Amino acid sequence: MASSGAAKGRIPLPGGCGPPYCWPMATRTRPSASRQAPPIEADIGIAGAGLAGLAAALATAGRGFSVVVVAPAPTRPDLRTTALLASSVAFLDRLGVWQEMADAAAPLAAMRIVDATGRLFRAPQADFRAAEIGLAAFGHNLRNDILGQALRAAAIATGRMSFVQAAVEDAVFRPDGATLLMSDGRRLDCRLAVAADGRNSVLRRASGIGERQWSYPQTAVVLNFEHEFDHHDTSTEFHTPSGPFTVVPLGPRQSSLVWVERPREAARIAAAPPAELAREIEDRMQSMLGKVRIVSDIQAFPLAGMTARRFGRGPLVLVGEAAHLFPPIGAQGFNLGLRDVELLDRLAGACGRDGLPRLGERYHRQRALDIGLRTASVDLMNRSLLSAFLPVQMARSLALHALCAIAPLRRLAMREGIAPGSQLRHLLDGPRGPGQPSSAAK
Ligand SMILES: Cc1cc2nc3c(=O)[nH]c(=O)nc-3n(C[C@H](O)[C@H](O)[C@H](O)COP(=O)(O)OP(=O)(O)OC[C@H]3O[C@@H](n4cnc5c(N)ncnc54)[C@H](O)[C@@H]3O)c2cc1C
């Protein structure tokens, strides 16, 4: 557990997008004399050019705001793939970028959970089919490098976004905006700062917004492989006592693997000769896809959890892993990050330039529930796998039994999975709430 904080001063603001807000300011440093070159100016300054930062740049530049993205050169390629849920695909489509990546994406028409824990209380195999809720696919899986390139190209094509290759080192926040201090000695003055600078966010730290952190005794190993048999657009998650082993379609007879293991075992896997590893992967999958050939490098990601104490304040909002971090179970991380961006996009469009410095409060209020629920459910699912406590294993097994046996419950879980929050709204509004089509009709 770790958290940070600072002395708080209260700055009353005039009306508009947000109410008066509390702001930590006592510990902020001011730009030094050496940084007094004329600042770069933009409506929105974004720290970080990962998937969340690029999506935020595309959305806000597409709305007509001037945007500057500040990020250092990447230190290593991102070999991961992302399973985008249908709601994320719809958002990317609205941003006009989905068609640029659609050909490289594999549809996920079915999802299967296999209990490979070998424990006393084992769950039955659970199959979820998109067709059962009237959809062709739950979502699509594609390589992160392709997704990132498409987002970057589309953001550049708006003509209102530029890049600065530098790290943000510090920031000063005022009622009318923020100044980001960059490693090349320059400053960026903006009306709204977006922290998309990942799990160790400098902007989050500079703002005095603390975080709750925790660790897991797990590392995710990722790679892509070709296989002998068709995957039939089905993603399979094997639940093991050390974490999920998830195989996701990536193309014709090609899949990506996210293999979560204890760190020592993960190090062994990452160093294993490819042919030997391919055989091991085939065995783990009980040869369901036949012979396996590894076609990518292997990368490892130590797992951790983190939630920021706030998701926005005044002229600052946090998106992606700067706001929330949890293990890769059920393809939630970047999908949650895209919902951050979706709200940022909507609120910025409603506030206009003048409202940007006060957007943080409203953003925080509207993101807190979704982020809290997703973080808690992924954490619970992960811990239920790791736990040797029999009642926990029994509860997990019963929950999967119920999903297999009770069709309406299964459909509700599937709809909630692809459009989070929709089922709660559905229950509150009734089958045809105000201005909402019924979920079944979606
Ligand atoms: C193994 C694995 C599999 C996953 N699979 C899925 C999936 O299938 N579906 C899904 O939805 N999610 C998935 N996720 C989660 C998803 O990958 C992340 O949510 C997403 O990549 C986070 O993107 P980000 O832009 O928030 O952060 P990052 O990718 O960490 O980007 C941070 C950016 O900030 C920059 N930066 C850092 N410090 C500074 C600084 N001081 N100043 C300026 N810039 C800075 C970095 O250079 C980088 O550009 C997976 C995660 C893992 C680990």
Report which ligand 1 atom has the smallest distance to the Cα of 199. Answer: 30
Torsion, Cα 55 57 61 65, to 10 degrees, reads: 130
DSSP 314-348: TTEEE-GGGTEE---SSS-HHHHHHHHHHHHHHHH
Contact 140, 107 (CB under 8 A): yes
Count, residues in the chain? 442
Residue 411, pLDDT score: 74
Q: Quick check: CB of 148 below 6 Å from ligand 1?
A: no
pLDDT digits (tens, 9 = 90+) for 123-154: 678 888 999 888 899 999 999 999 999 999 99
Q: Quick check: CB of 147 below 6 Å from ligand 1?
A: no
Question: pTM to 2 decimals?
Answer: 0.86
Q: How far apart are CA 21 and CA 84, in angstroms?
A: 35
Tokens of 322: 């700067």
Q: How far is the CA of 220 from the centre of ligand 1 (A)?
A: 14
Q: Which residues pair with 192 in a beta bridge?
A: 44
Q: How far is the CA of 84 from the centre of ligand 1 (A)?
A: 14
Looking at per-residue pLDDT, the higher value among 394 and 105 belongs to 105
Closest protein CA for atom 30 of ligand 1? 198
**Can you list the domains of the chain with their CATH numbers?**
8-77+145-213+305-375 (3.50.50.60), 106-142+216-303 (3.30.9.10), 408-442 (no CATH)
Q: How far apart are CA 122 and CA 120, in angstroms?
A: 6
Rounded to 5°, angle at Cα 375 from 371 and 377: 120
Q: At what angle do helices 333-355 and 51-62 cross, to 10 degrees?
A: 30
Query: Which of these, 43, 53, 10, 1, lies nearest to 341 by C-alpha position?
Result: 53
Q: How far apart are CA 85 and CA 418, in angstroms?
A: 5
pLDDT digits (tens, 9 = 90+) for 352-370: 999 999 999 999 999 999 9
Q: How far is the CA of 72 from the centre of ligand 1 (A)?
A: 14
- In this prediction, residue 36 has a pLDDT band, given cuts at 50, 70 and 90, of low
- Backbone angles phi and psi of 423, in degrees to 5: -75, -35
Q: Quick check: CB of 196 below 6 Å from ligand 1?
A: yes
Q: Quick check: CB of 108 below 6 Å from ligand 1?
A: no
Q: How far apart are CA 130 and CA 161, in angstroms?
A: 37
Q: How far is the CA of 322 from the centre of ligand 1 (A)?
A: 9
Q: How far apart are CA 52 and CA 104, in angstroms?
A: 20
pLDDT digits (tens, 9 = 90+) for 236-258: 999 888 888 999 999 999 999 99
- In this prediction, residue 119 has a pLDDT band, given cuts at 50, 70 and 90, of low
Q: Quick check: CB of 85 below 6 Å from ligand 1?
A: no
Residue 393, pLDDT score: 64
Q: How far apart are CA 302 and CA 21, in angstroms?
A: 36
User: Which residues fall within 8 angstroms of residue 155, CB to CB, at 6 or more apart?
Assistant: 54, 57, 58, 61, 67, 69, 161
Q: How far is the CA of 169 from the centre of ligand 1 (A)?
A: 19
Closest protein CA for atom 1 of ligand 1? 220
Dihedral sign for Cα atoms in the order 308, 310, 315, 320 = positive
Burial class of residue 216 in the structure, from the number of CB atoms within 10 Å of its CB (0-12 exposed, 13-18 middle, 19+ buried): buried
